[in-house]
Amino acid sequence: MWRWLALLLVFGALGVAQAPQHPVVPAAAQASAHFDTQSATDAWLASLPNAFRQRSDEYFEGSYWLILWDYLAGLAVALAILQSGFSVRMRNLAERLTRFRFVQTLLYWAQFVLINAAITFPLTAYEGFFREHRYGLSTQTFGAWFRDQSVALALSVVLGGLLLGGLFAVVRRLPRTWHIWGALVAGAFLVVVMALGPVFITPLFNTPKPLADSPIRTEILNLAHASGIPAQDVYQIDASRQSNRVSANVSGFLGTERITLNDNLLRRCSPEAVLSVMGHEMGHYVLHHVVIGIAFYTLVFALMLAALRWSVDASLKRWGARWGIRDAGDVAVLPLALIILSTLGLIFTPVSNTFTRTQEYEADLYGINAARLPDGEAEVDLLVGEYRKLDPGPWEERIFFDHPSGRARIYAAMRWKAENLCLFDPKLACGIEPK
């Protein structure tokens, strides 16, 4: 009991502490003639208490099981709706209410989403509220959390319905090639949502506002201009109303791009760490990661929809009459489609994680070179270690991590420092670290 109380006090102290003026650099990570990348990395990791590391590992490793439980819960709901004939009843209700097939799809989807949300609510509440509080990561009351969940549910009904309406229209009109055109529809929809996100979706959960005029704002804009980014503003959101996690992001597309940092980053990190994070986010922009990501996932959509088309056709040929589903263009087929797609998505998870992790590592390297503040990078990597395991095994990282591990990120920062020691002490030489 006392061990857990002590850990909660540690996390609480981290949540309310004022931002440090400079990173506290361990002795082995300070610039010297004997600087060693591995020793510096180990020193940064050793600067955290073992209890902190154990709690972080326990939290992150628990998320591995949640991937499975989420999949099984979704599978069970979809299978029950399909086998019980409830899917056909929902379709029939939608058809009685309107003769427009696009609207029928919207009505069916609304029913499905609400039923699924109601059945899986205990797991959702445990995963998103109770578990987050248990590990000291959430700052929300249950009422505030439930409000955000309700808004997300409404968005799922509206946006998901529009996407499905478009996809089913393609299936009905192009029965032989719908997997190709459906992928293009999904890719275009992704572009639209990304463009609308910063302007219309983010404000539903947080209040974005331009960062107030300050030295750190000036430094961030200088860093952006040096990277060729024509930014005039940096945005801040009140993420502390939900959690004490530090983060930033590049969001938007086709003119709505924004570089955003959350208030926790400003409150908990030194200026060096803030600039390092912003350099990372600018790396995503400069390296065109958004465009590359859209192209990649459009291709993934095409492959998955091709597999879906084959699986649905084979399943309906065998069980379609028993389920009461007419053809692939019948909206009542949706539970079957979700079972297939969620299974494909689970199998694809390591590939998706690797793609994202690779982009994140590229942005890390860009940020380290742009900001030239490796100790700031190490500082924020330790803070992210509150909810992401810092030192996983190689295969564990390849399968479960969609970002580089804390060790990998700190090692990259310390390697850069080893090759640029003269920037930290004029008496030292710059160059490749001796082996």
pLDDT classification of 5: cutoffs 50, 70, 90: very low
Question: Residue 172's closest CA among 397, 359, 164?
Answer: 164
How many residues does this entry show for the chain? 435
pLDDT in tens, 102-125: 999 999 999 999 999 999 999 999
Res 91 pLDDT > 50: yes
The SS3 of residue 121 is: helix
Environment class of 394 (CB within 10 Å of its CB; exposed 0-12, middle 13-18, buried 19+): exposed
d(CA 156, CA 117): 11
Share of the chain above pLDDT 70, in %: 93
What's the pLDDT at 4?
Answer: 32
d(CA 277, CA 379): 10
Res 17 pLDDT > 80: no
What's the pLDDT at 426?
Answer: 87
Question: CB neighbours of 322 closer than 8 A, spacing ≥ 6?
Answer: none
d(CA 290, CA 283): 11
SS (H, E, C) 296-347: HHHHHHHHHHHHHHHHHHHHHHHHHHHHCCCCCCCHHHHHHHHHHHHHHHHH
Six-digit token string for 94 = 């939608």
d(CA 9, CA 6): 5
pLDDT in tens, 326-351: 999 999 999 999 999 999 999 999 99
Tally of CB atoms within 10 A around 210: 12
Q: Are strands 209-210 and 248-251 parallel, antiparallel or unpaired?
A: unpaired
pLDDT classification of 1: cutoffs 50, 70, 90: very low
- Whole-structure pTM value: 0.89
Between the alpha carbon of residue 203 and those of residues 209, 225, 266, 351, 400, the distances in Å are 10, 27, 20, 32, 30
d(CA 331, CA 324): 11
Please name every residue paired with 261 in a beta bridge, in sequence order, or none if there are none: 236, 248
The SS3 of residue 260 is: strand
What's the pLDDT at 234?
Answer: 85
Least confident of 3-12, 83-92, 284-293, 415-424: 3-12
pLDDT in tens, 233-256: 888 999 999 999 988 877 766 676
Residue-averaged pLDDT of the chain = 90
Six-digit token string for 345 = 């998505």
Mean pLDDT across the stretch 410-422? 95
Question: CB neighbours of 372 closer than 8 A, spacing ≥ 6?
Answer: 420, 423
Res 21 pLDDT > 80: no
Question: Residue 247's closest CA among 137, 118, 83, 351?
Answer: 137
